[in-house]
Structure 1
Amino acid sequence: MELSVNRALSFLLLMVLPASLMADEKLTLTMRSRAKDAPAKEISGKVEWKASATALIICDMWDDHWCKSAARRVEEMTGPLNEVVKKFRDQGVFIIHAPSSVVDFYRNTPQRRYAQNAPFAKPPIKLSTKDRWGTKWCWPDPEFEGVLPIDDSDMGCSCKEPKCEIREAWTRQNKGIEILGEDAITDNGQEAFNLLSAKKIENVILCGVHLNMCVLGRPFGIRQMVKLGKNVALMRDMTDTMYNPQRPPGVDHFTGTDLVVAHVERYWCPTFTSADLTGKKPFRFAADKR
């Protein structure tokens, strides 16, 4: 009984402290979306979100990846992303680290226990139940979103010959992304919803990798959060795709990523860039010479 009370008190302290310090902070984000009907005209406008009612979910920014080119891009993005995470955290945004299938690495941390001990909240819909790659998965709905604009049926590694061997290379989140006391760690859809409900969060920002797979499909990803009725946005310069330019539509890797971003804007949620937080230019991979 004493242990349960202590857990509850610890959870409440973590829950209320950041919000009480940053209750009036506002995020001003330049959102971009697209009309669903062809030709999917671009639509832009500014929105204001209350920081204490907003969460940033960092998807699958692992310490390594079976595809060497994907691993290099994650490593390149890690430092800039961590700086943006700091900006969000300083403004009172709730940070959820979601390194799928390796959250057990953090089993003895307060951030992992924070997610596990959050009070149960009944979701308004049935959460995803089908398994894929170590978690539940929200599969594409062809009737709602058509098909993705890139062919990732070969798993999307952009490395040239010899092809990388598919394996579970990841053991934890990349060390370059700081995990602080008020953050949470989960890859579980119910736990994520419990956290959002406990903190009265209505706005969810997704970042991390890979957009055409995990950022869309994980149980804490874009599809699930939209279906849960959250206001969802993708930070489009802080993501990447698994796309091999040798596959259709035969464009370079970064154009392939842009095509998936446009797909998200058309069917799922608006996007913005880290420039809204940093005042600097949006992040761009060094190999992107367009």
Structure 2
Amino acid sequence: MICKSAYPLIAALFLATWTASVAEPGDRLSLHTRRRVEISPGSGVYRVVEETRGWDAKRTAIVICDMWDQHWCKGASRRVDEMAPRINQVVQEARKRGVLIIHAPSDTMKFYEGTPERELARAAPEVAPKTPLLRWCNLDPQREAPLPIDDSDGGCDDTPQCKTGLAWTRQIKTIQIQPGDAVTDSAEAYYLLQQRGIENLIVMGVHLNMCVLGRPFSVRQMLNQGKNVLVMRDLTDTMYNSRKRPYVSHFAGTDLMIEHVEKYLCPTITSVDFGAHEPFRFSEDTRGQPQTIPPPAHQSHPASFVVVPFALHVPLAYLGSRLAMTRAR
């Protein structure tokens, strides 16, 4: 067992090892990106653009945002539990290829105090940013349209809604923190990237409509600093209550947020670029899968089923609002 007093020395050794090799090129990452481009200015009509980008692994970092051990919303915790094994697989593959892994479980730095991974982040010297580093990066109306989902109630889709509070103490154990990784929840992440000459960032974790965009180590901040940013769209989630605007399922709400990111902020990729056979999908996301309803009990034929099209899973309140808009035209 390593004595805690030795942690700073170990962190310094990791830092020296990296500094000696930072200029050396690493593996070439082949990333299949997706973004949305407006067909003509002001048209509000977008087309999907898919491209393949090549990034140097040694000049790339992955940020894992707020994948806590527990969330105040039970539904959010359940989805984090389900998604965490895939995130761990991705970071294992990325780490082997030379990508820096930054674990960013906000508000839990006390848990990691004195560890080599925490000291590694703290040791990065402050450097002058391109724009002031913010503790939280709000939506800039000059760059983004309003978010497509209403999260004003906190976004918990449980019934009844869970009581809010700080339920987290650390990152979920499923996602392993290994020697050479960094742990931070602040602008230290930017200093670390600058120290290592890293210009490319891949962000995953939760929640896309909140922390993934706003945290000081995440999407908006790094875009403001001129970094190349991608969001891993199959390894994220939203805090969205389907009983709020635009009255679609939780997972449809997440898709709307992904579209928002692709339109106004940065392209997205999936975990397939890091060895997964197919994009991750939550088990509760049954969209696109035909569902059957057993026949009434009085019917004698046991093989009779009714196939329910996906469209019927859209809440009636949403359909009603769309009908009203059509009539208004």
TM-score, L = length of structure 2: 0.81
**Counterpart selection for 1:103 from 97, 103, 109:** 109
Distance in structure 1 (CA, Å) of the matches to 2:115 and 2:235:
26
Query: How far off is 1:221 after superposition?
Result: 1.1
Aligned to 1:15: 18
- How far has the Cα of 1:12 moved from its partner? 3.0
Q: Deviations over 1:95-117 (max 9, x none)?
A: 00000011121001000011111
Aligned-partner residue type, residue 147 of structure 1: P
Aligned to 1:203: 200
Other-structure match for 1:131: none
Instruction: Tell me which residue corresponds to 2:27.
Output: 25
Structure 1 CA distance for aligned equivalents of residues 69 and 15 of structure 2: 31
Letter paired with 1:72: R
Q: Say if 2:33 and 2:50, in contact at 8 Å, map to a contact too.
A: yes
Aligned to 1:251, the other structure's residue is in SS state: coil
Relative to structure 1, the CA distance from residue 72 to residue 6 in structure 2 (aligned partners, 3 Å threshold; closer, same or farther) is closer
CA distance in 2, matches of 1:40, 1:227: 24
Q: Residues 216, 14 of structure 1: CA spacing in aligned structure 2 closer, same or farther, 3 A cutoff? A: farther
- Residue 18 of structure 1 deviates from its aligned partner by 7.5
Distance 2:165 2:125 in 1: 35
Q: In the alignment, what sits opposite 1:231?
A: 228
Superposed CA deviations along residues 79-124 of structure 1, whole A, max 9, x for unmatched, are: 1110011011011000000000111210010000111111222111
Note closer, same or farther for the CA distance 1:110–1:6 as it changes in structure 2 (3 Å cut): closer
> Partner residue of 2:259?
262
Map of 1:1-290 to 2, 5 A cutoff? 9-10=12-13, 12-16=15-19, 23-36=25-38, 37=41, 38-128=44-134, 136-160=135-159, 162-189=160-187, 191-290=188-287
Q: State the alpha-carbon separation in 2 of the partners of residues 7 and 60 from structure 1.
A: 26
On the 8 A contact 2:157/2:241 being kept in 1, the answer is yes
Q: In the superposition, relative to structure 1, how do residues 33 and 175 fare at CA in structure 2: closer, same or farther (>3 Å)?
A: same
Instruction: Pick closer, same or farther for the CA change 1:94–1:40 going to 2, 3 Å.
Output: same
* Cα offset, 1:142, TM superposition: 2.0
Q: Describe the shift of the 1:102–1:229 C-alpha distance in structure 2 as closer, same or farther (beyond 3 A).
A: same
Q: Distance in 2 between matches of 1:54 and 1:286?
A: 31
- Secondary structure of 1:148's partner? coil
Q: Is the 8 A contact 1:145 1:267 kept in 2?
A: yes
Q: CA 1:43–1:15 in structure 2 vs 1: closer, same or farther (change >3 Å)?
A: same
Secondary structure at 1:49 match in 2: strand
When residues 14 and 151 of structure 1 are mapped into structure 2, their CA distance, relative to the original with a 3 A threshold, is farther
User: Any idea what the Cα deviations from partners look like across 1:6-44, whole Å, max 9, x if unmatched?
Assistant: 589435335247758x83301001000011452121111
* Residue identity opposite 2:16 in structure 1: L
Identity %: 50
State the alpha-carbon separation in 2 of the partners of residues 10 and 209 from structure 1: 32
Structure having the higher Rg:
2
- The 1:9/1:176 distance shift into structure 2, 3 A limit, reads closer
Structure 1: gaps spanning 5 or more residues: 129-135
1:142 aligned counterpart, secondary structure: coil
SS in 2 for 1:101: coil
Which SS does the other structure have where 1:223 is aligned?
helix
RMSD: 1.9
Bigger RCO of structures 1 and 2 (CA < 8 A, at least 6 apart): 1
One-letter amino acid of the structure 2 residue matched with residue 184 of structure 1: A
1:49-94 Cα offsets, whole Å, 9 max, x none, are 0000000000000000000000000000011110011011011000
CA gap 1:198/1:186 in 2 versus in 1, 3 angstroms: same
Which residue identity does 1:60 align to in structure 2?
A: D
Q: State the alpha-carbon separation in 1 of the partners of residues 88 and 208 from structure 2.
A: 18
